[in-house]
A and B are shown apart, each in its own frame.
Chain A
């Protein structure tokens, strides 16, 4: 168990810059997630922490020790690979015992520890099976047991749920959370699935093309995205291009289509902005401090426990989500509709080159 610190990590593969100066501070005992689309550099970051790749520049610290160029086998940051990387020629027992044998742990103790690990992942009695005789979920558990049994300083999980079916994914997700809590171990978790990241993490770093866009708790990141990318990556949301037309300190008035919205908060310099509005924050009735925009109904989509109304405002489509059927009433396409939005729920962010 250890704090992990990344300082200005740069990594290039040939001509492409995979990581453009990554800084991260991962606290001891926390489940920290690197979240981003494929190709954003999250797996590369993980491999660099594991010592399987080395950065071109920058430093990595485990606690007070610099480990930037320490070979993987001396580092104690154990990675659970996306494809599990179980050795097909070894039994479950031998797979799990491998790291202990290398550490020259006495035979009796190896047996005890492997038993403990198998119990932890709820696979007791599977010692003599071979990886090919296990289901995907069981292989995953063996891979986790193999990593945990050597008591790693930090456990690294690379898209651990991506090869599992939907039901198993939910099960393993809580399983990983349970094990992490039980052992109080530092875990760095990589995924491209924002929902998974929100559900499991203490903190999340959202990555995009080799940079960290934002670090924070799931709540902070969802409610308070600091960039257009983070806002659009964290679930379904409205991102509306707009222009700042008036400023008074932090207060601005913006314009999109023919609408003028005043009294919004914005501290950026650029006048080209986007308005980020979560669909569930849009109401069909007026409220306190709301702005109103008038348009027509484009589509009503019924999802069961909620309904989405897609309104057309000039050329712009905006989604509103409501859990009450009654509010929607008998709205039909082409009918006029008014969306009401609390000013505090409109996040104004500088426009980003995505």
Chain B
């Protein structure tokens, strides 16, 4: 018996309790061991040249025109070329060097996704129009993650004989010549279509959460129309929109699917993510400190974006200033021209953005796809999911890795959310809180690269099944499970801390006051009350583990017996003709997993399926 000042300072409770200390130390040590230290080991390699501390590798990046050429861009944004006897506008993008290209692509994607996401969100939040419920359902479609294959469809859409030209050139005659979108422009378009739902969900939530009396007051004072939107609505929703846009920027930075699908155009390879990835694939360059340095450049950019938005959103919590429960949202019937915009611009655009998911299904059920439409209906690809041994194997692998990862993720997020949520005064709380959310800002390829350096050089792991240079013994599953558990932690942690915040602390206190120890109070009161959040978080993370790409196609593709689904999909996409259809079948499988998870989350847990924000 007796209180201790240090325990109060560090853990937020003067009586050192094993449950509390464990809740702090388990997630902290795990994150330090499998996130912080690996990144630091990689950092060490990047700053080392001939055994001495040096900036050599960073200089080699920033002094090389290949990586850094902001002033004299190569190539042309758009050219006219002859294609099948026709003149075609060929868009590929300018080459400013790998680092600058990545930044430009990321910013372009942020702008495009913001335009798309905010427009859709505003229409859905503020207008009531016939067919709105169908649109609401359609808006779920682009949320379905189908690595690689949706980009394959996007690429097909923007070929000279693709869907876009079929509509706008062939039928509507809006284009003087067909367009062909390829290279970095293709990457931007593909990423924008893939990621805009994140901005949409954030913007929608922000619009819905604006206290209607704020807008009514402005109207009452004489503001209306676009002025009202510009001076009240948009500024109030801006923090949420910014958070979504920045998240998309980070996702664009680390995305590998689009550059890999577009790699036929050399310029699409000139992105940081692709460069690091290709050093893995080409094998001989593995362990190249220059790639460690490039990873750090990428990580730094992502972290700056992440920290800036956290700071900005933290400064502007006023959107939630108003008190009061649910209010009646402001929805109006669109006027004539507004209805025209909704039916002629917004909904057709939405249909185009869900075409990739539709296309994946078409691709999976067809024999070939050369022109505008796929041809030759077949069930062979779908059957192969069950019958083809290597395909069934990767499904089993992914299910196994994801299941194990989910168990770890739940333990981590439960302990971390409990510690940081219930002992806010502890010195460790803000540290734990930041560490548990920071994986969002760490590109997957950076984790893959740091794991490579970490597990192949640091003594307790060197030479074990975690060491990727130890080819005979290396078990990719172990590395993948660790990477999944780190990368997907924030998704579950957010759901669970939301649950813990909803349970008033007095419910646990009264249990302890009536004689329950901390452990008993946790298992008999808190956990039963947040069971739905646990389930929701588990399903969300499971879905994202199954579709994890960056680590899966690098560390995960070293030994084909242990491929996860995404490694197999990559192999099929870059492989022989026709195997994209098989990859699409795997994409359909992933979509089914997600639909089941969403339906379960909606029906059983009655939770709204939503993406993670940055706050």
Residues of B within 8 A of A74 (CB): 515
Which of B2, B510, B524 interacts with A85 by CB under 8 Å? B510
Q: Is A81 engaged at the interface, CB distance under 8 Å to the other chain?
A: yes
At the interface, yes or no: B516 with Cβ under 8 Å from chain A? yes
The answer to whether B515 touches A85, judged by C-beta atoms less than 8 angstroms apart, is no
Partner of B514, one of A68, A88, A150: A150
Which of A50, A70, A83, A103 sits near B513, CB closer than 8 Å?
A50
Q: Which residue of A lies closest to B1 (CB)?
A: A69
| Known interface pairs A54-B15, A69-B2; A85-B514 also in contact (CB < 8 Å) | no
Q: How far is the CB of B181 from chain A (nearest CB, A)?
A: 55
A87 touches B507 (CB 8 A): yes
Instruction: Give every chain A residue within 8 A of B511 (Cβ-Cβ).
Output: 87, 98
Q: Are B1 and A72 in contact, CB atoms less than 8 angstroms apart? A: no
Is there an interface contact between B509 and A52, defined as CB atoms closer than 8 Å? yes
Closest chain A CB from B448 CB (angstroms):
42
Let me know if B173 is at the binding interface, CB within 8 A: no
Flag if A85 contacts B506 (CB, 8 Å): yes
Complex: how many Å from CA A52 to CA B512? 9
Q: Of the candidates A52, A70, A78, A103, which one forms a contact with B1 in the assembled complex, judged by CB atoms under 8 Å apart? A: A70
Contact A73 B515 (CB under 8 A): yes
The digit string for A67-95, where 1 denotes a CB below 8 A from any CB of B, is 01111111001110101010111000000
Q: How many A-B residue pairs have CB under 8 A?
A: 70
Q: Is the CB of A99 within 8 A of B509?
A: no
Which size bracket describes the interface of B in this complex? 20 to 34
- Chain A binding surface SS class: loop
Determine whether the beta carbon of B504 is less than 8 Å from that of A83: yes
A78 touches B506 (CB 8 A): no
Point out the residues of chain B lying under 8 angstroms from A54, CB to CB: 3, 8, 14-15
**CA of A233 to CA of B44, assembled, Å:** 67
**Residues of A contacting B528 in the complex (Cβ-Cβ under 8 angstroms):** 89
**What A residues does B17 contact at CB under 8 A?**
71
* Chain A residues with a Cβ closer than 8 Å to the other chain, count: 28
Query: A351 in the interface, Cβ–Cβ < 8 Å?
Result: no
Instruction: Give per-residue flags for A89-130: 1 if the beta carbon is below 8 A from chain B beta carbons, else 0.
Output: 100000000110011000000000000000000000000000
Given A81-B510, A85-B507 in contact, is the A150-B3 Cβ separation under 8 Å? Answer: no
Q: Are the CB atoms of B514 and A99 closer together than 8 Å?
A: yes
State the CA gap A73–B521 with chains docked (Å). 10
CB pair B514–A146 under 8 Å, yes or no, is yes
Within 8 A of A (CB), among B488-531: 504, 506-507, 509-517, 520, 524-525, 528-529
A103 / chain B contacts, CB cutoff of 8 Å? 515
Query: Contact at B513–A78, with CB atoms within 8 Å?
Result: yes
Closest chain-B Cβ to A17's Cβ sits at a distance in Å of: 16
Q: Which of B3, B8, B17 has the most CB of A within 10 A?
A: B3
Report the bound CA distance from A81 to B511 in whole Å: 11
The minimal Cβ–Cβ distance linking A279 to chain B, given in whole angstroms, is 38
> Which residues of A sit under 8 angstroms from B529, Cβ to Cβ?
87-89
Quote the shortest CB–CB distance from A156 to chain B (angstroms).
9
- Contact flag A150-B510 (CB < 8 Å), given A54-B3, A69-B15, A88-B529: no
> What CA separation (Å) do A52 and B507 show in the bound complex?
12
Find out whether the CB atom of A73 lies under 8 angstroms from the CB atom of B506. Answer: no
**Contact call B512/A71, Cβ cutoff below 8 A:** yes
Q: Is the CB of A52 within 8 A of B514?
A: no
The residue in chain B whose Cβ has the minimal distance to the Cβ of A82 is B506
Docked complex Cα distance between A143 and B528 (Å): 20
Whether the Cβ atoms of A73 and B15 lie closer than 8 Å is: no
Given contacts A70-B1, A85-B507, contact A51 B516 (CB under 8 A): no
A-B residue pairs in contact (CB < 8 Å), sample of 22: A14-B425, A50-B513, A51-B513, A52-B513, A54-B14, A68-B3, A69-B1, A69-B14, A71-B15, A71-B512, A73-B513, A73-B515, A73-B517, A74-B515, A83-B504, A83-B506, A85-B504, A85-B510, A89-B529, A99-B515, A102-B515, A150-B515
Beyond A74-B515, A85-B509, 9 extra complex contacts between A and B, CB < 8 Å? A68-B3, A69-B2, A71-B15, A73-B516, A79-B510, A79-B513, A83-B504, A98-B514, A103-B515
Name B residues whose Cβ lies closer than 8 Å to a Cβ of A: 1-3, 8, 14-15, 17, 425, 504, 506-507, 509-517, 520, 524-525, 528-529
